[in-house]
Structure 1
Amino acid sequence: MHLLCAVLFFLSHATGCTKGEAPAPDAKAEARTPKTEATTAVATREAKPAPSSPAAAGPKLCQHGVPAELCTQCSPELSEVFKEKGDWCSSHNLPESHCFKCNPNLTFASTQGPEAGEAHAPVPQEAWCGEHGVPEAKCTKCKPQLIAKFIEAGDYCREHGYPESVCPYCHPELVKAAGQQPPEFPEPGTLVRLASVDIERKAGIQTQRAEAQSFAQTLEVVGQLDFNQNRLAQLSARAEALIAEVKVDVGDVVKAGQPLAVLTSAGVGETQAQLSASKARLETARAALAREEALAQRGISPLKEVQEAKSALAAAEAEYQAALAGLSAAGASAGSTGGRYVLGAPFAGTVVLRDAVAGRTASAGQTLIAVADLTTMWALLEVPEESATLVKPGQKVALRFEGQGGHLREATVSRVAATVDPASRTVRVRVDLPNPDASLKAGLFLRASIQVSGEKEALLLPREAIQEAQGRHLVFVRSGEGVYQPVPVEVGAAQGNRVPVLQGLSAGAEVVTTGAFLLKTEILKDSIGAGCVDD
């Protein structure tokens, strides 16, 4: 309520308001955690003298340069009050009376200042700690005695060691709004020293030399094997039929045209009868045409009779071809009778499915036998939609089959789907795999590594060597016995268990691998409340 009244007072009198200064911190808060003899590692850095904060003149200004109690960026709930009073800059989403872009000469003067009509002196903005990127009065790095005060007030970021309300890592927008730079991390000169080589050995710290190696960016995905759908035949009854005989079983290798099953169908029997009748009519029409042509040559039969005989022959041939096509569509041959017909293999391959049992009735369209050419298989990979644009036909792929003891095969991308699966949000990618020994089985689970970039040189380090702190990637370089320096680096996408270092590290540096996390905790001790030792 007091805050709302302050806003209304400001809008009525067009002057700032003052805010009382915080009381001086308790002397007890200045005490720090004493060191113990058990300490084996410390992070050292130069100590910075605490600069004095200038006395405030006029209204208390926030980091945005406006009266702290009226700032709509610090207190968004005040925006509606300014809008109701018609004091709002829609272009910059600020009160018009606070907008420095629309009013470059805008200042806020003390309500205790000159009389009306006299010039107002500009009010100095809150001093800023350029090294740590927070207001000087709230810098717990320069004034560690303030830590207890902010912890008691519930305004302390234990992860980064600053007041939560102005933490430059949690709220980088505040630093930017104040025209400052975020603090550098780790601070220049930071080192981690172990008390002795024996402690270094007991801590299990291991290092390796950073060496330039060739690598290519890869994309790790999963998938499974399937039959080559272009060489897979699913044989079925065209109409309801009785399975009279099954001649093959799963795993049998068959030749093109080899009989696989014998079926009996009333519909096929009817088509066979139509074929026999149309064949008889065709023979009769051919004989009638020959007779009419002979009579016409002797002048006995008119030419009209010859033309009619030719038309009858053409109709009989069409009827016969139609009946023949009907049998062929049903899988029956022209010589079969009694409604019996044979399902034959369309090409050489292996029987991979059998759902046919003698004496059972098969419905139309039911797959009874499937034949596949196993000389090639398809690896179907599921690529996340956000990475799908990186994958293109012709890229190299390394495939590892979990069911074959991690057996590795290399191939190339054949096809990339044009749609995203709505359920899994993945794009299907196909890889054609030669399978001359038929050792690959459909349904086999696999992991694939797709090379999505050309090869280049970079320093490759194990994942465990790369640590992340304060939003930056770090490695620890051994500069002497028990002495380690945290070095900020820029890294690329991980390649399996290795991470490429793009900038910040020189070849030949001795980098900590095992134990890097332990060293990271040492340089973060001041952030998590354990304290650190300053030389």
Structure 2
Amino acid sequence: MKRTILIVIALAPLVALGIIGVGLARPSWIPHWAHLGPKHEEGDAHEGHAHGNEASHSSTDAGLYCKEHGVPEKFCTLCHEELIKTLPLCKQHGNIPEEICTKCHPDVEKAYNIEMCPKGHGLPASFCVECGKSATTSAALPDDGWCGLHNKPEALCAECAKNPRKIGPLAAGEIPEPCRQPLPIVKLSTPKLVRQVGIQTALVTEEVHAHRLGANAETAYDANRYAEISPRVVGFLSEIRADLGQSVQRGDVLAVVNSAEVSAAKSQLLSAHSAVRLAQATADRTKSLTQSGAVPARAELEVMTALNQAQASAMDAEQKLRNLGFDNDQLAAIIKNKDTSNLLDVVAPIDGVLVLRHAVKGEAVQATSQLFAVADTSRMWLWIDVYERDIALIAPGQSVSFTISGADPNGQGHAFLGEVTWVGTEVSDKTRTSRIRAELANPNGRLRANQFGEADIQIGSEHKATVVPKAAVQRKDGTDLVFLPLAQPGEYRAQRVVTKPTDRNDVVEVAWGLKPGERVVTKGAFLLKTEIMRGAIGAGCCE
């Protein structure tokens, strides 16, 4: 009995150590699906960065934590490149170890106490493909040739050309500068999901297009073909001869004003001309007497002065009537007929249409009262509000197309054509826009003043352009991108592109990033974008 007790006592510590050993071999915070990874020889521990546990066993032991990269040591492929060959990798998110892919397995963030990307990209900070901090993971994704640091194509990045970045393996402790930043691959897990989402693609084609700039615009009468009509005298309207919408010619009588000023001006003209005739006769008689010696030369000088004064008074009287609208023939008729009536015709100064009428028969009017307005509507002005960033693209002579807002429920309203005639010289401090003036042809009078719409200004000549449907282009972080289907069904890669507007509403030009013949996602592109957005909805792969 004593021997049995002694054996039990001797074995008890061994059993306890075995239990403790199991606990050390697999900590309780490791999920059941996580692999412990390969075993390494003693002394295989890496150097060059700090860890939270200074135990002497293998550096890839599950119990160690890599403080430098914020993940468990056993999954840190940045410190142990040999693990890339043995650990399962997530191809959809940059070939990071599957066990720490927080987009595919959101629960591991808390389970492993993983340090996440501070920019909200949903991946471990040191393995974030979008931030470009992991050369290992970034290199595994298709490089779309985009400079993430300067947000432009790498081939067009002057900053990168001046300061080339190191490409290839990095030395220990060297952090790559975030220039090329490939985007993750998006995967729809099953063909059924692809059908449910309704993914559709379109071919990238080449067509002839012209670059156009769209802007808000408003129509107005051509100020060079518009006239406001006033009576020019104080009086009252005795007759109205024109009405709204009536076509008039220059010189047509629109109304008649009864004014004492007109009678006084005519009387002054008649009196002045009588004085001129009298002064002229006196001057002629004095001249002959002076030549015969009957009167001194001084007398001739006096009568010539009187004649000049009479002529000046006559010219003043004529000018007053000219200011009221009388022409030379009318002035001659007043003198011939000795007309002193107080009636003044209000006439149209230009050809056009009567577009405004305030005149009422019997109304008392002032010299500046606006009675009518006449406009030639065969041409109209268009005021275009262009943002200051686009002003440099505008120049006089460029073609303009204007479509009225709401004129057609289907958005295919009639386009009015014209050209830019003036570029504004100031920018509004409130809207940060400059006013551009264009002239539009309006032969049928369909265009009216003060109509709002969309103006398209052609800012480049026609040329061959690579185009895609507008629905294929998505916007992310100030950059346009499209999605290209990969060889593996249900997998799509993002391609950043540089786009320009065209003369069609349903397509855009791709100036960089695509070639004719490639296919891009149209329907479903927005859903794919949400998978790579900051704070993407759900996991990294659609399930």
Alignment TM class, shorter chain as reference: 0.5 to 0.7
Letter of the structure 2 residue corresponding to residue 180 of structure 1: P
Taking a change above 3 Å as real, the CA distance of residues 52 and 434 of structure 1, as seen in their structure-2 partners, is farther
1:109 is aligned to none
- Alignment equivalent of 1:148, drawn from 110, 118, 139: 110
| Residue 273 of structure 1, CA deviation | 3.1
Taking the aligned partners of 1:151 and 1:358, their CA distance within structure 2 comes to 91
Partner of 2:376: 373
TM value normalised by structure 1: 0.67
Q: Which amino acid aligns with 2:512?
A: Q
C-alpha distance in structure 2 between counterparts of 1:289 and 1:401, whole Å: 72
1:180 aligns to what?
176
SS in 2 for 1:493: strand
Distance 1:148 1:463, change over 3 A: farther
Question: How far has the Cα of 1:463 moved from its partner?
Answer: 2.6
Amino acid at match of 1:214: V
Q: Aligned runs of 1:453-468 on 2, under 5 Å?
A: 453-468=460-475
| Post-superposition offset of 1:180 | 1.8
Q: Distance in 2 between matches of 1:399 and 1:504?
A: 31
Q: Distance in 1 between matches of 2:392 and 2:236?
A: 51
Work out whether residues 462 and 497 of structure 1, in 8 Å CA contact, stay in contact via their aligned partners in 2. yes
- Scaled by the length of structure 2, the TM-score of the pair is 0.66
- Tell me which residue corresponds to 1:503: 512
Measured against aligned partners, the alpha-carbon deviations of 1:9-58 in whole angstroms (never above 9, x if no partner) come to xxxxxxxxxxxxxxx9x966654999xxxxxxxxxxxx9x9x98746479
Q: What are the Cα deviations for residues 120-156 of structure 1, in whole angstroms up to 9, with x where unaligned?
A: xxxxxx9679xxxx9969x995545862279899986
Q: Name the residue aligned to 1:388.
A: 391
Structure 1 segments unaligned to the other structure (5+ residues) = 1-23, 35-46, 59-125
Aligned equivalents of 1:509, 1:396: Cα separation in 2: 33
Q: Against the structure 1 CA distance between its residues 339 and 282, is the aligned structure 2 distance closer, same or farther, given a 3 Å change threshold?
A: same
Cα 1:403/1:506, change in 2 over 3 Å: closer
Q: Separation in 2 of the partners of 1:32 and 1:451?
A: 63
Map of 2:281 onto structure 1: 287
Cα 1:228–1:28 shift into 2, 3 Å = farther
Residue in 1 aligned with 2:367? 364
SS in structure 2 of the partner of residue 244 of structure 1: strand
Report the 3-state secondary structure (helix = DSSP H, G, I; strand = E; otherwise coil) of the residue aligned with 1:346. Answer: coil
When structure 1 is superposed on structure 2, of 206-215 and 513-522 the one drifting more is: 513-522
- Aligned with 2:228 (options 230, 234, 241): 234
Which of 485, 495, 514 does residue 478 from structure 1 map onto? 485
Q: Measure the CA separation in 1 of the matches of 2:479 and 2:358.
A: 61
Q: What is the distance in 2 between the residues matched to 1:519 and 1:399?
A: 35
CA shift in 2, pair 1:57/1:373, >3 Å: closer
Question: What fraction of aligned residue pairs are identical, expressed as a percent?
Answer: 29
Is there any run of 5+ residues in structure 2 with no aligned partner, and where? 1-23, 52-66, 71-75, 80-93, 103-107, 134-147, 150-164, 166-172
Give the 3 Å change call, closer, same or farther, for CA 517–233 of structure 1 in structure 2.
closer
Q: How big is the shift at 1:256?
A: 1.8
- Shift in Å, 1:321: 0.8
SS in 2 for 1:492: strand
- Please give the root-mean-square deviation of Cα atoms over the aligned residues, in Å: 4.4
User: How far does the alpha carbon of each residue in 1:433-466 deviate from its partner, in whole angstroms, 9 at most, with x for none?
Assistant: 2333333222222311111123333321123212
Spell out, residue by residue over 1:303-340, the C-alpha distance to the aligned partner (whole angstroms, 9 max, x if none): 33223222211111111111111122133554363433
- Determine which of 421, 436, 452 is the counterpart of 1:429: 436
Alignment equivalent of 1:161, drawn from 111, 123, 126: 123
Cα 1:283–1:169 change in 2 (3 A) is farther
Does 2:214 match 1:220? Answer: yes
- Which of 445, 448, 451 in structure 1 is aligned with 2:458? 451
Distance 1:305 1:475 in 2: 101
- The equivalent residue for 2:353 is 350
Larger radius of gyration: 2
Q: Secondary structure at the match of 2:302?
A: helix
* Partner SS state of residue 517, structure 2: coil
How many angstroms does 1:514 deviate by? 0.5
Task: Tell me if the contact between 1:419 and 1:427 (Cα under 8 Å) persists in the aligned partners.
Answer: yes
User: Is the CA contact 1:250–1:351 (under 8 Å) kept in the aligned structure 2?
Assistant: yes
The 3-state SS of whatever aligns with 2:437 is strand
Q: What corresponds to 2:241 in structure 1?
A: 247
